[in-house]
Amino acid sequence: MKKIFKITALAHPNLAFIKYWGKKDEGLNLPANTSISVNLSNLYTITTIEFSEIFSSDQIKINQEENQKEILRVVKYLDLIRKKAGINWKAKVVSQNNFPKAAGFASSASGFAALTLAATQALGLNLSEKELTILARLGSGSACRSIPDGFVEWKKGEESEDSYAYSIFPANYWKLSIFALFLKTSEKKVSSSEGHRLASTSPFFKTRIKKIDKKIILLKKFIKERNFVNFGNLIENEALEMHAIMFTSRPSLIYWDEKTIKLIKFVYELRMKKFPVYFTIDAGPNPYLICEEKNEKNLLKELKKINSIKNIIINYPNSGAKIIKKDLF
Ligand code: DP6
């Protein structure tokens, strides 16, 4: 009898309120700073993995494609997990997002979080949540924040073992509505991994890092108090700060396009009309708008007026990665 170990996991991408931009150690994905995020309920990746001694090579399919660059990244990561488990069986992996990948919607975060959980369980590694986050981080830095529940802090740490993520508030702590706005869904030309390398070339990077721990303390205070206006102002300013680092890197990195700027101005106009809504943007042109759940319907009504928005997915803070019963193959 051949042994078969097959597991499926689901993970949500996370949206950073304080961004991870710049690494202290590229090989280990040790970040230059601590970051804070929340898991997004209606975006997800499902990954099924099967290890078997009869497979002669890894077979990896992500969103029905076989992209060589991505396959190499996953195989390298699987090698790490196989080494940890002391098992060298090859694997079949099928992974599916319910959203476009690499358009600034953190697909590597949910992808590596789901893969970490599924692969470690399939190989019988019984890891704690902290250990899972450390391992996921080695796949993609931000993936560590998709493992724990709700609002999550990723401590930068000094070395691999103390750079991990943990929940700071459960998903139901604050009823926020987080609108993922799809303006452009084509894959970005510069990956965030490449972008991280440029961060320290910005003359403003050192200043950012010097001030960021204070920002972390403030953000946690505003979430704790559920102070939406202070929270919104802080996260919006933080997103602009990260993009300012990108703009002023050498070479510069501009993920926005005209539609992004239009959306930013639209948010400013709404606030002039006393509508409490704020934006944040990751490494892509697509913004996220955030309001309190009580204002969700009105915000949706306002956004219906803008025809550059191709699709809107409304999210709520959500739990972390989990095992599910529905296999993809
Ligand atoms: C802009 O986690 O994708 O989304 O560690 O190289 O895989 P790697 O980078 P990645 O970077 C995410 C950058 C960001 C900000 C954030 O999520 O904090």
CA distance 130 to 265: 40
Q: Are strands 59-62 and 90-97 parallel, antiparallel or unpaired?
A: parallel
Atom of ligand 1 nearest to the CA of 109: 2
Selection from 88, 296, 69 nearest residue 191 by Cα:
69
Task: Enumerate residues lining ligand 1, CB below 6 A.
Answer: 16, 19-21, 29, 35, 106, 108-109, 140-142, 192-193, 196, 282-283
Residue whose CA is at the smallest distance from ligand 1 atom 7? 140
Looking up tokens 């995020």 gives 37
Say yes or no to pLDDT of 217 above 60: yes
Q: Tell me what the mean pLDDT of segment 170-197 comes to.
A: 91
* pLDDT confidence of residue 99: 81
Say yes or no to pLDDT of 189 above 90: no
Question: How close is the Cα of 141 to the center of ligand 1, in Å?
Answer: 6
Q: What is each CA distance from 150 to 15, 16, 146, 182, in whole angstroms?
A: 11, 12, 9, 23
DSSP 8-state assignment for residue 126: -
pLDDT tens, 100-113? Answer: 665 556 679 999 99
Share of the chain above pLDDT 70, in %: 97
Of 76, 196, 197, best ligand 1 pocket probe by most atoms within 8 Å of the beta carbon = 196
Question: How close is the Cα of 27 to the center of ligand 1, in Å?
Answer: 14
* pLDDT confidence of residue 254: 96
CA distance 208 to 18: 11
Q: Tell me what the mean pLDDT of segment 228-248 comes to.
A: 98
Q: Please name every residue paired with 96 in a beta bridge, in sequence order, or none if there are none.
A: 46
Question: How close is the Cα of 4 to the center of ligand 1, in Å?
Answer: 34
Say yes or no to pLDDT of 255 above 90: yes
* pLDDT confidence of residue 103: 57
What is the Rg, in whole angstroms, of the alpha carbon atoms belonging to the chain? 19
Residue with more model confidence, 107 or 135: 135
Q: Please name every residue paired with 4 in a beta bridge, in sequence order, or none if there are none.
A: 52
Residue 184 binned pLDDT confidence (cut-offs 50, 70, 90): confident
Atom of ligand 1 nearest to the CA of 242: 1
Question: How close is the Cα of 22 to the center of ligand 1, in Å?
Answer: 9
* pLDDT confidence of residue 106: 61
Q: Tell me what the mean pLDDT of segment 8-20 comes to.
A: 98
Atom of ligand 1 nearest to the CA of 140: 7
DSSP track, 1-22: ---EEEEEEEE--EEEEE---S
pLDDT tens, 30-66? Answer: 999 999 999 999 999 999 999 999 999 999 999 988 8
* pLDDT confidence of residue 281: 96
Amino acid (1-letter code) at residue 118: A
Q: Tell me what the mean pLDDT of segment 147-156 comes to.
A: 98
Amino acid (1-letter code) at residue 130: K
Q: Which of 184-188, 193-197, 314-318 has the highest mean pLDDT?
A: 314-318
Question: How close is the Cα of 282 to the center of ligand 1, in Å?
Answer: 8
Q: Please name every residue paired with 97 in a beta bridge, in sequence order, or none if there are none.
A: 45
* pLDDT confidence of residue 245: 98
Selection from 328, 232, 215 nearest residue 271 by Cα:
232
Q: Model-level pTM?
A: 0.96
* pLDDT confidence of residue 3: 53
Selection from 223, 218, 195, 180 nearest residue 314 by Cα:
180
Atom of ligand 1 nearest to the CA of 282: 1
Atom of ligand 1 nearest to the CA of 106: 4
Residue 188 binned pLDDT confidence (cut-offs 50, 70, 90): confident
CA distance 108 to 142: 8
pLDDT tens, 113-124? Answer: 999 999 999 999
CA distance 21 to 42: 25
Share of the chain above pLDDT 90, in %: 90
Residue 241 binned pLDDT confidence (cut-offs 50, 70, 90): very high
* pLDDT confidence of residue 116: 98
What is the distance between the terminal CA atoms of the chain, rounded to a whole angstrom?
A: 21
pLDDT tens, 88-103? Answer: 999 999 999 998 665 5
* pLDDT confidence of residue 4: 58
Residue whose CA is at the smallest distance from ligand 1 atom 2? 142
Atom of ligand 1 nearest to the CA of 196: 6
Q: Which pair of tokens denotes residue 152?
A: 């999550």
Residue 1 binned pLDDT confidence (cut-offs 50, 70, 90): very low
